[in-house]
């Protein structure tokens, strides 16, 4: 165990620039059920949440249900988009390859989706065996369960863990786990003042828009 903190990366919007692709597919599936939600509202409602959590919200708040067939079709469309268009977040490959701190990934997405995204972007070798998914816990983000699982499995206390997150749900989850959190605004969906404002009001420990700032932040820990 190194002297520095464990770094827990979210995946979508932090390691890979997948959020615009995923949101387009999700809103298309919702539209097919007769509900129109614009991308801005979609990001505010759904960003950072598991598909199970999104499905529950759609039923409870909008009376819309995505059945098993719709979910499978959505997953296949998303994976096709990933294969055609997915890229890593700028500078993530170089930063991760040189990071001295221990690190892992903790995502609301299913493990197979995270693995596919990391393989397609050349990042899988860095995270193999260090992948944690909301499917492994009872409650996804914004509950702290996933981050506490990841830290525990990696052998780190919450107070010696730093979460890098792009979503309000993820920031709340990190704070509920009593971990420090860096809000990341460098993803394709996050480069706007409205998104940063939604994160800033949650008072994360840091806000960064360039992954190259992460090593400097870690050198100043705590």
CATH number of the domain at 19-85, out of 3.40.50.1820, 3.40.50.300, 3.30.390.30, 1.10.150.240? 1.10.150.240
DSSP state of 95: H
Alpha-carbon distance values, 204 to 17, 94, 176, 184, 195 (Å): 21, 25, 12, 10, 14
Q: Is the distance from CB of 176 to CB of 151 less than 8 angstroms?
A: no
- Give how far Cα 26 sits from Cα of 54, 83, 99, 172, Å: 10, 17, 33, 23
Model pLDDT, residue 3: 62
- CATH 3.40.50.1000-classified regions of the chain: 6-17+87-219
pLDDT in tens, 152-199: 999 999 999 999 999 999 999 999 999 999 999 999 998 888 889 999
Question: Of the spans 31-40, 46-55, 117-126, which averages the highest pLDDT?
Answer: 117-126
pTM equals 0.92
Q: What fold, for 6-17+87-219? A: Rossmann fold (3.40.50)
* Contact (Cβ atoms closer than 8 angstroms) between residue 134 and residue 108: yes
In this structure, the dihedral spanned by the alpha carbons of residues 98, 186, 28 and 137, taken in order and rounded to 10 degrees, is: 50
Q: Which of 27-36, 43-52, 161-170, 192-201 has the lowest mean pLDDT?
A: 43-52
| Residue 149 CB neighbour total at 10 angstroms | 17
Rounded mean pLDDT, 102-117: 96
The Cα angle at residue 58 between residues 57 and 61, in degrees rounded to 5: 70
6 with 220: CB under 8 angstroms? no
In the chain, CATH 1.10.150.240 sits at 19-85
> pLDDT band for position 2 (50/70/90)?
low
What's residue 125's pLDDT? 98
67-97 confidence digits (pLDDT tens): 888 888 999 999 999 999 999 999 999 999 9
Q: Is the dihedral of CA 146, 89, 66, 110 positive or negative?
A: negative
């Amino acid at each position: 165990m190194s002297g520095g903190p464990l770094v827990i990366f979210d995946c979508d919007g932090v390691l890979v620039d997948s959020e615009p692709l995923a949101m387009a597919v999700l809103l298309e599936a919702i539209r097919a059920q007769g509900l129109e939600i614009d991308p801005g509202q979609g990001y505010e409602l759904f960003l950072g949440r598991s598909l199970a959590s999104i499905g529950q919200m759609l039923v409870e708040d909008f009376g819309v249900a995505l059945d098993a067939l719709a979910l499978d079709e959505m997953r296949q469309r998303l994976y096709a988009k990933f294969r055609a268009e997915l890229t890593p977040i700028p500078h993530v490959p170089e930063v991760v390859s040189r990071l001295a701190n221990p690190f892992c990934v903790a995502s609301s997405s299913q493990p197979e989706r995270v693995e596919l995204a990391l393989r397609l972007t050349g990042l899988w070798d860095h995270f193999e065996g260090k992948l944690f998914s909301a499917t492994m816990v009872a409650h996804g983000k914004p509950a702290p369960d996933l981050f506490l699982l990841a830290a525990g499995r990696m052998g780190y206390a919450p107070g010696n863990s730093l979460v890098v997150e792009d979503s309000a749900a993820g920031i709340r989850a990190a704070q509920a786990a009593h971990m420090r959190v860096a809000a990341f605004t460098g993803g394709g969906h996050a480069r706007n003042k409205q998104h940063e404002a939604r994160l800033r009001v949650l008072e994360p420990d840091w806000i960064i828009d360039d992954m190259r700032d992460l090593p400097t932040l870690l050198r100043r820990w705590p």
